[in-house]
Each structure stands twice: as structure tokens, then as C-alpha cells.
Structure 1
Amino acid sequence: MNAAEPLVRPFRPDQDMDAVLDIWVRASEQAHAFVPPGFWRARLTEMRDRYLPLAEVRVAVWPDVAGFAAVVEDHLAALFVAPERQGRGLGRLLVENARQGRAELSLSVYESNTAARAFYERLGFVPQCRIRDGLTGRPEWTMLWRRGDR
């Protein structure tokens, strides 16, 4: 692997767990400043023991773990890139990888996270409906990408 080029590979829990959880907390706190402080850290165990084992998780490595995507069936349940690595194409690379072999991919994004909403729209995701997140009570959008649209 050329260290100048990022690579997407399957998540290795025994090697990647600490990095993935660290990225999840830091990126969540940055992107979701409207959620009370401590909310994400209080859910680390749940993320590690419940959510990640249920998902198909891929990591972006450049040269170490710099981001991850978690997909459950055809739903992009999580996409997070380390704050200091954002804006370098890793999120796009992870989404493109998640779309491989799928006819469609859905996701939910907080309404207040306008940067993420714009990012997903640039990648061809279309807002479908506005819902309320069951954990935070915050409004969010369900978005859908379909192969062949656009």
C-alpha cells in the first residue's frame, strides 16, 4: 500500500476498536455540538458491544485508522472521520465503498448537521422524510441513494 493513498479494509475489532471508538466520540462531539456534552462518551460501551458487532464495518487507513463506516443491511448507520483528517476525501471513499454491490443505501442525519447533509447530497443522497431521533429527540432527515439516480 502506498502511504500517500488511503485504503478501505474490513474492521478488525482486535486491532481497530480503540481507534474507531476514539474517532466516533471525537467526530460526534464536533459534528453534534447541539447534543449535551458527555452524551457520546456515555454510550461508548453500547457502541462497542452492541452496535459495531451488528454492522458491516469498514475502516479507512491512511496510514493508520482515520475513519470508518458501519452498514446494517442497506442502511449507513455510521460514517465518521477523525476531525483532523476531514476534508481529504476519506468520507467519500468510505461511502463509495459502502455502496458497492448495493442497489440503494439509506442513512439518517441530524437536521442541524448542515455540513453532513450537504456532503450526502453531493454524493447523490436525496432527503426522504424528516423524523425525530429516539435517543436525542433531535430532528433528523432520512436520506436515500439509489444506483442509477442522477
Structure 2
Amino acid sequence: MPAPFTLRRLSLDDMDRAALIHRTAFDQRLPWLAGLHTPEEDRAFFRNQVFAECQVWGALAEEIVGFIAFWEGWVDQLYVLPQHQGKGAGAVLLALAKAASAELQLWTFQRNLPARRFYERQGFVAVRETDGSGNEEREPDVLYRWRRGG
């Protein structure tokens, strides 16, 4: 049974924690891309883009263990600390974004098989793959789409 999580909207006061969760989860799942950005660059990205453009919500189990950043129709970020993955935090965060939109899209890397399996279990369907030439990491990615009611 998934662990219970409290959800709350995050503020700029939570930015450092969100950036740390992002970097920790990203580097563990995608070690070949680790070190692409410094912690300072991560924090600037979260301050100037993620928190400025998205609703950012956290899953708390005593402390923030995961977060989602989304806007109408798009999931921009969804990361959960590795030791909390598989316990339901990602699913409850994604359900929050689904409740706010009739359709969602998101990108993930083709090689991130655990993320791909997770999104597919949540009803997302792969609709497009790229060679990665259009993203900063130059890593082949895949666009997923979810629509309410199938």
C-alpha cells in the first residue's frame, strides 16, 4: 500500500529543496547526464522558470520527497527522491495535475525506462519520439499524452 503523503503548493521558500530533489533523482536515473548543470544553475532555473511559470506542488512525508510542476496541458517537471520512488508520491502528484487539465503532455528521455513504465501505468501514451537534437541534453526523448476519459 502506498505511503500517505500530504500535498501542498510550494513557494519560493521551497525552491532549494525542489532543485535538490530534481538533481538527486535526475542524476540517479540518468547518470550519463549527471553534472550537466551546477547546483547554482539548477536553483536559478527553478527560481526564474519553474516557479515563475508553473504551479509547483510537493508531496510531503515529514519533508518534501517529491514535486510536480505543471501548467494547463503540460507537466514540466515530476521528480521524487530515489528512496521514495515506488511508494505512490509520483502517482498522487500526477493525479493533482490530471485533475486540473482535460489533457496533459510531457517529455521524458527514451532511455529512462522506469519513468516510461510509470507514465504508461498512469494512462499516458507515447505519441512522438525524437533523436534529441531539439533538447539541451541531446538525448533522444519521447512525448507522452494523456486525455481524460482515454
In structure 1, the gaps of 5 or more residues are none
Question: What corresponds to 1:67 in structure 2?
Answer: 66
Question: What does 1:16-55 correspond to in 2, within 5 Å?
Answer: 16-35=14-33, 37-41=34-38, 43-44=41-42, 45-55=44-54
Question: What corresponds to 1:138 in structure 2?
Answer: 139
* Alignment TM-score, normalising by the size of structure 1: 0.89
Question: What corresponds to 1:93 in structure 2?
Answer: 92
Whole-Å separation in 1 of the counterparts to 2:125 and 2:38: 31
Q: Is the contact made by 2:12 and 2:47 (CA closer than 8 Å) also made in structure 1? A: no
Question: What corresponds to 2:11 in structure 1?
Answer: 12
Q: 1:107 Cα shift?
A: 0.5
Whole-Å separation in 2 of the counterparts to 1:67 and 1:39: 21
Deviations 1:60-85 (A, max 9, x none): 11121110000032110100001121
In structure 2, the gaps of 5 or more residues are none
Q: Is the contact made by 1:28 and 1:40 (CA closer than 8 Å) also made in structure 2? A: no
The number of equivalent residue pairs is 144
Identity %: 31
* Alignment TM-score, normalising by the size of structure 2: 0.89
Q: 1:103 Cα shift?
A: 0.7
